[in-house]
Structure 1
Amino acid sequence: MSEALLRVAGGALVLLAAYDLYRTVLLPRGRGGPVTRGVCRGVWGGASRGGDRLMAHAGPLTVVLGVAAWGALLVVGFALATWPALGEGVTASGDADTPTDFLAALYYSGFNLTTLGTGDLVPRTDAYRVLMIAEAAVGFSYLTLALTYVMSVYDALHRRNAFALGLHQRTGDSGDAAAYLAGTLPGPTAATSQDLTTLSTGLARLFEAHHFYPVLHYFRLPKPRYAMARILFVTLDAASLIRSAPDGPDAETLAESAAVEALWRAGLRPVHELAPLFLPDRASDGATDESDRDRWRAHYDRAAATLRAAGVACRADDAGFARYAAQRAEWDAVVRRFAAFMGYDWDAIAAPGVPG
Structure 2
Amino acid sequence: MEVAIVVVGAFIVLLTLYDMFNTTISLGGGGPLSARMNIGIWKRLPWGPGPLRGSAGGILSLCTILMWMALLWLGWTLIFLPVSDAVLRASSGEPADFAARIYFSGFTLFTLGLGDYRPDGALWQILTALCVATGFLSVTMSATYLVPMLSAAAHKRAVASMIDSMGDTPEEIVINGWRDGNLLSLGTRLASLSSPIAGTAASHLSYPILHTFGTAEAGRSMPVQIVKLSEALLLVEHGIAPEARPAALDLLSARRSLTEFFEHAGSGTRMAEEVPPTPDLERLGDAGLPTVALKDFENAMKRQRDMRRHALGMLRESGWSIKDALGR
Task: State the secondary structure of the residue aligned to 2:118.
Answer: strand
- Structure 1 ranges of 4+ moved more than 4 A: 187-190
What are the within-5 Å matches in structure 2 for residues 38-53 of structure 1?
38-48=36-46, 52-53=50-51
Task: State the secondary structure of the residue aligned to 1:220.
Answer: coil
Kept in 1, the 8 Å contact 2:87–2:96? The answer is no
Post-superposition offset of 1:28? 3.1
Post-superposition offset of 1:196? 1.1
Distance in 2, matches of 1:116 and 1:300, equals 68
Kept in 1, the 8 Å contact 2:25–2:206? The answer is no
Post-superposition offset of 1:264? 1.1
TM-score under structure 1 length normalisation = 0.84
Post-superposition offset of 1:178? 2.0
Distance in 2, matches of 1:261 and 1:76, equals 52
Which of these residues, 289, 296, 299, is aligned with residue 278 of structure 2? 296
Counterpart position of 1:268: 259
Distance in 2, matches of 1:330 and 1:239, equals 16
Distance in 2, matches of 1:68 and 1:106, equals 17
| Range 128-137 or range 91-100, more displaced | 91-100
Counterpart position of 1:318: 295
Q: Unaligned stretches of 5+ in structure 1?
A: none
Post-superposition offset of 1:49? 5.6
Q: Could you say what the CA RMSD is over the residues aligned between the two structures, in angstroms? A: 2.3
Kept in 2, the 8 Å contact 1:10–1:78? The answer is yes
Post-superposition offset of 1:192? 3.2
Distance in 2, matches of 1:156 and 1:56, equals 16
Letter of the 2:197 partner, please give it.
L
Post-superposition offset of 1:190? 5.0
Residues 205-260 of structure 1: CA deviation (Å, up to 9, x unaligned): 111011221101222222223334313212211221111233362x24x2x61110
The alignment of Structure 1 onto Structure 2 pairs a total of residues equal to 327
What are the within-5 Å matches in structure 2 for residues 1-356 of structure 1?
2-29=1-28, 31-48=29-46, 52-86=50-84, 88-95=85-92, 97-101=94-98, 103-171=99-167, 174=168, 176-186=169-179, 190-247=184-241, 249=243, 251-252=244-245, 254=246, 257-275=248-266, 277-280=267-270, 282=271, 284=272, 295-296=277-278, 299-302=280-283, 304-305=284-285, 308-309=286-287, 311-323=288-300, 325-326=301-302, 328-351=304-327, 355=328
Shift in alpha-carbon separation, 1:185–1:327, aligned structure 2, 3 A: farther
Kept in 2, the 8 Å contact 1:90–1:122? The answer is yes
Distance in 1, matches of 2:263 and 2:26, equals 21
Letter of the 1:149 partner, please give it.
Y
Distance in 1, matches of 2:306 and 2:82, equals 60
TM-score under structure 2 length normalisation = 0.91
Q: Unaligned stretches of 5+ in structure 2?
A: none
Letter of the 2:96 partner, please give it.
P
Kept in 1, the 8 Å contact 2:18–2:31? The answer is yes
Post-superposition offset of 1:27? 0.7
